[in-house]
Amino acid sequence: MTAAQGQTPQPVLIAGRWRPATLRGTFQAENPATGESLPQVFPISTWDDCDAVLDAAGDAARQLLELPGERLGDYLNCVAQRIEHCADELVACAHAETGLPATPRLRDIELPRTTNQLRQAAWAAAEGSWRLATIDTQADMRSWYAPIGPVAVFGPNNFPFAFGSSSGGDFAAALAAGNPVIAKANSSHPGTTQLLAAQAQEAAEETDMPRGIIQLLYRLEHADGQRLVADPRLGATAYTGSRAAGLALKAAADRAGKPIYLELSSVNPVVVLPGVLAARWTEIADEFTASCLLGTGQFCTNPGLVLLVRGSASDRFVAAVAARFDATPPGVLLSRGVQTSLQQSVECLCGAGAERVTRAAVPEGSGYRCPNTLLRVDGARFLADPARFQTEAFGNAALVVVAADLDELCQILKQLEGNLTGCVYSDPAGADDDAYARVARLLRPQVGRLLNDKMPTGVAVSPAMNHGGPYPATGHPGFTAVGIPAALRRFAVLECYDHVHPRRLPRGLSDANPHGSMWRLIDGRWTQDDVPSRG
């Protein structure tokens, strides 16, 4: 008999009420640090649950259209406050389900980032400039961005708070734009997602939000997930996860004409130019090791591909990184699936011709771990099979490509797929200026965020941040999953009002500025003023 037998599965959240799921099956999360199943049992829902959440979300969406942005701001601020009040319980649960360190990672870094995102979204919802209200008085025409309708959020495994489906950036952006959220938990941390959804639901009751503003399902069969993202009652979907699963959802959504925003895979190339490498190879080896092994490499911006030009400094750099990798105890991976996928990716790279330059010793300790792995290949071999050598090794592994010269390095850059980030290390004294110009010109179109002399792991919650990029990093290069207010406009439609009587216009498009601080484009000029009198 297993620990799960005889246990009642955890309830789903539908239309403001925790209730039993319509069961297709059950599952349990695992503690990746030990490999043991955790005690709670969670339901795999049938389509009946999806049908119910879609109906309830539609009702909530219609009610939200009547609420001013200030009310949504109050709600999001309340969610942030409630998360802070139950920090101890959240951190303990997330630590057990993900193996991520309780401190500083979860308590001191990720949880404050999560509440900061929610408060930034609250401000954007109340202030309203994100809508890009545009008024042409001569044509008597007005437009702005308005809520798209219910948004399904599929959260990833690696950020249970900051990207979680019931707490993270997509959740905050969708709500700030005026849409209810259907949260689909990641199977690696369902308990954490449940606790966060409970805070969001209690905040909804406290601030008198519509029933169904936040709903939660834990797991679906693939066919039901694809049916969900294509349903006519859904406005849009946000997904962060594997390329294969994301593309299957995208195909279903595209067939139905439904917007879906994907964050998929990225190797985040780091180019280290000869001048700076000769001068600073030791410091760069330290920076790269710290960035690559942070969180056991389980960041979407983890630097997984390093490009060098052949020379003695390159050899010293590779040897130094290999020594640092071997000297660092391997961390815990998020799940058995992540461990298996990482092993398969390393095998694929080695099968293509990459050479392992670190030890392949079995890591000490229980749970899901892989040895810290550094691989090396020459530029000519990379160019013979560039797609295979760009296999994402999600975890504590990286590939170094050593080009014969700068010309070959530039040929390699032309073969790169789209990435979230790209970085160029260059000599600040100017020795690499010409090389930088050539490299950056090729790298810039292939990445969402270009860095100079800085590793890419950190993702600042800044209005200027682009956490996006060309395919396959994301499904659309024109949008960001981090950065407010831009992230909100993924979950909006452009509404136009042509010769509509003033008393029938939305408040933000009326002649009077709703609260004096909203920026609007009036007759070609951005202003916080009211529309000039027609008299």
Active site residues: 263, 300
User: What is the DSSP pairing of strand 520-522 with strand 525-527?
Assistant: antiparallel
Render 414-462 in DSSP notation, one character per residue: HT---EEEEEEE--TTTTTHHHHHHHHHHHGGGEEEEEESS-S------
- What is the longest distance spanned by two Cα atoms in the chain? 82
Cβ contact 334:189 at 8 Å = no
User: What is the DSSP pairing of strand 12-14 with strand 355-356?
Assistant: unpaired
Q: Count other C-beta atoms under 10 Å from residue 419's C-beta.
A: 27
Phi and psi at 158, nearest 5°, equal: -95, -15
Q: Count other C-beta atoms under 10 Å from residue 265's C-beta.
A: 24
**Scanning the structure block, which residue is given the tokens 């991520």?**
100
398 three-class SS: strand
Smallest Cα–Cα separation from 244: which of 369, 97, 347, 392? 392
Residue 17 DSSP one-character state: E
Which tokens hold the place of 128? 């309203």
Smallest Cα–Cα separation from 83: which of 42, 40, 104, 113? 113
Residue 232 DSSP one-character state: T
Distance from the Cα of residue 295 to its chain's centroid? 16
Cβ contact 422:447 at 8 Å = yes
Looking at residue 204, its amino acid is A
Quickly count helices (H) and strands (E) in the chain: 15, 24
Cβ contact 439:410 at 8 Å = yes
N-term to C-term CA, the chain: 82
Cβ contact 437:412 at 8 Å = no
Q: Give dist(CA 303, CA 383) in Å, integer.
A: 20
Phi and psi at 231, nearest 5°, equal: -70, 140
Cβ contact 435:406 at 8 Å = yes
Residue 135 pairs in a beta bridge with 142, 522
Distance from the Cα of residue 276 to its chain's centroid? 32
